[in-house]
Copies of this chain bind each other. A is one copy, B any other.
Amino acid sequence: MERNDHLLSLLQPRTVAVVGASRTSGKIGNVVVANLLSAGYQGKIFPVNPFADEILGIPALHAIEQLPHGVDLAVVCLPREQLAPTLERLGGVGVRSVCVTSTGFKEVGREGYYFEMEAVEVCRRHGIAMLGPSSLGLYNAALRFNALAVPSAPEPGNIGFFTQSGSLGMAILDATAGKGVGFSHFISLGNKAVVNETDIIRHLKDDPATKVILGYVENIEDGQAFLRAAQEATLEKPVIMIKSGATPEGARAASSHIGAMAGSEDACQAVFSQSGIIRVGGLREMFNLAVAFSSQPQPGGPNICVVTNSGGAGILAADALVRSSLVMAPLRGQTVDELKRFLASHASFYNPVDILGTSNAETFAKALAATAQDPLVHMLLPVVTPSCHADLEQVAWAIARQASECAKPVAACFLGDAATVGAREVLRKAGVPFYDSPEDAVRALDALFRHAEWMKRPLPVEICYMSNTFQAKDVLSKAKARGFSELVEFQAMDVLKAYGLPVPKTVLARTSDEAAQAAKTIGYPVALKIASPQIAHKSDMGGVVLNIKSEADVRRAFMDVTNRASRIKEAYVMGCVVQQMAPPGSREVFAGFKRDPQFGPLVMFGLGGLYVEVLKDVSSRLAPLSLLDVGEMVREIRTYPLLRGVRGEPPVDFRAIEDVLLTLSQIAVDFPEIVECDFNPIMAHPGGALVVDAHFILGRRSNGD
């Protein structure tokens, strides 16, 4: 979607046509008009039906051509065969956007796919923003605009929601009704033939009526655009998403469902990490977080205070806390003294504050007031169990009062069900989020905190290295001209050098004399490696000798290695590479990238050797990388302590590793023809890093780059 004004027409329509409007109750063309009317939409509504004069009391037009020019949005409820011709006619009267509720397109296979492509072509030509096809419609609270294709009315509120699955969307409306969850927008994306999640996120980011953005998607259309849009949005407001099909089984189900190729999960996870989107696993968690974000202020820090009338529930809250990024607030002496003044002597005055099961609502209120005013407390979590001593509605009032007064996030947990109905109603009206388990409440507060931290991050700085790309281009062209699909080691090293990467001193020696000379120049000890474009795994065939300390040994190694290689028939042997050895105390790491068809170049980092293979201990981010990205990548692997140094070892030079990663990102951006690239090993040491071996796989220029 390029034309932003047409997207605006779709999401904020001042006039709407319903093409295929129907007089028959239950038909989609009837439901849409009925929804528009009962929502109280103030814009002009034009039902279009060749045979009806009026629909639900509104005058109907018999043909599209009778529409005034430039209607903002047309909802199309016609069989798929009629879609393309209808769009053509709508384009003719200058309609700016459409929402297509018809089904039977890409989701049903090849035949539907052609109908969809035809429609897309017409939209492109007329610059029409199309939602769907197979959309269940859309809703905008501010405009009192309900064009859903099912008889359902979302509650108004500040949650902007979009969903790729219409049926899940409907289930969500049913599940959230009456629970204090209100929507600013409710958008069923359908097949995303034109308008997709990226467009919606861009719009909702600037929508003043939307405080939280929520989304359910099964695939992401354009990874790089999505990443940029999401990065911008999360600096404005929280974005919470489910990306299903995260697992191989799920992705298989996803492909059969919407006929979309699911992006690789690694790349997808990288997008979420890099963009600050809060990724959740299920619908309950999504709305648990949404209600907290939609009502609560940003916390000033990670300190939480639990106030409970059940010791057991307090322990469950403490357990949940440790699995989060929050901490139990240390209460200041004044607060503890205050609590001691009115709590029983065997209550717990420290966090979690256990006011005991025999406490009444007044005691609850006092304990909440005492803890809420403690500057060491950033968030409040009252955990309440039914008790014959406390009126739960009164407790709820006390919580609501604190929430409105203290300007700190409050999430309430009420255990039980029947006994807590009244209390929950009080909190719902007061706009305080409530949960039925301490874990859920903690998870919600944790999300508030993490989002607040995210917004404090400095803006990502993308580094652009000044480098000799001409020289690198030259190496690549030559290799391609000779028909190589990979670069030989010394060619690879030339690319690295062009980018100013630290490489070991390396000389190609064609004879043992040259090798001896090279070793002398470089300085002992040296390594010797076979040079042949056909031999990728050098050590497997005995093509590598390390730590050679004398001229005699260099000569012997040269003969050995080239002899062994000459036995491999298809290998063209150019000689041997003589190379400087990494300093002692080096730790082996690796870095590389591969191009994901949906998301672009995914840069990976990990410890070298067996760790990667066995532990899959790898971090990854999409290029282009920022300084923050590489800092996180290096530190989030599990084996990070080995880099920091154990048993008194000095740490490696992290800056040097980060430089390598940034350069790798730059290479990925500069040369789309490199489809895969491996720096392995990189010897990281306290004084720097050496890229000892590099491997480039060339391919055709991949599209999208």
Nearest opposing residue in chain B for A107, CB measure: B346
* Contact A319 B244, beta carbon cutoff 8 Å: yes
Q: Which residues A322-348 have CB closer than 8 A to chain B?
A: 322-323, 328, 345-346, 348
B contact residues around A210 at 8 Å (CB): none
The answer to whether A82 has its CB under 8 Å from any CB of chain B is no
B contact residues around A257 at 8 Å (CB): 311-312, 314-315, 348, 354
* Contact A315 B642, beta carbon cutoff 8 Å: no
B contact residues around A168 at 8 Å (CB): 310, 312-313, 316, 385, 415
The answer to whether A560 has its CB under 8 Å from any CB of chain B is no
B contact residues around A65 at 8 Å (CB): none
The answer to whether A283 has its CB under 8 Å from any CB of chain B is yes
* Contact A170 B250, beta carbon cutoff 8 Å: no
Q: Which residues A526-556 have CB closer than 8 A to chain B?
A: none
The answer to whether A144 has its CB under 8 Å from any CB of chain B is no
Contact with B along A574-588 (1 / 0, CB 8 A): 000000000000000
Contact residue among B253, B385, B417 (Cβ-Cβ distance under 8 Å from A311):
B253
Contact with B along A90-118 (1 / 0, CB 8 A): 00000000000000100111001000000
B contact residues around A613 at 8 Å (CB): 641, 646-647
Nearest opposing residue in chain B for A348, CB measure: B256
**Which of A67-75, A159-167, A197-205 faces chain B?**
A159-167
In Å, the complex CA distance between A346 and B354 comes to 58
The answer to whether A40 has its CB under 8 Å from any CB of chain B is no
In Å, the complex CA distance between A362 and B252 comes to 27
The answer to whether A248 has its CB under 8 Å from any CB of chain B is yes
* Contact A313 B256, beta carbon cutoff 8 Å: no
The answer to whether A38 has its CB under 8 Å from any CB of chain B is no
The answer to whether A418 has its CB under 8 Å from any CB of chain B is yes
In Å, the complex CA distance between A419 and B167 comes to 13
* Contact B252 A312, beta carbon cutoff 8 Å: no
Contact with B along A233-255 (1 / 0, CB 8 A): 00000000010111111101110
In Å, the complex CA distance between A109 and B345 comes to 10
Nearest opposing residue in chain B for A322, CB measure: B247
Tell me the minimal C-beta distance from A219 to chain B in angstroms: 10
* Contact A244 B323, beta carbon cutoff 8 Å: no
* Contact A345 B108, beta carbon cutoff 8 Å: yes
B contact residues around A420 at 8 Å (CB): 174
Nearest opposing residue in chain B for A163, CB measure: B312
B contact residues around A319 at 8 Å (CB): 244-247, 249-250, 281
The answer to whether A636 has its CB under 8 Å from any CB of chain B is no
The answer to whether A460 has its CB under 8 Å from any CB of chain B is no
The answer to whether A461 has its CB under 8 Å from any CB of chain B is no
In Å, the complex CA distance between A242 and B415 comes to 16
Tell me the minimal C-beta distance from A32 to chain B in angstroms: 13
* Contact B437 A614, beta carbon cutoff 8 Å: no
Tell me the minimal C-beta distance from A399 to chain B in angstroms: 17
Contact of A357 with B167 at beta-carbon distance under 8 Å, contacts A256-B350, A311-B253, A315-B254 already known = yes
Q: Which residues A434-458 have CB closer than 8 A to chain B?
A: 436-439
B contact residues around A417 at 8 Å (CB): 174-177, 179
* Contact A352 B253, beta carbon cutoff 8 Å: yes
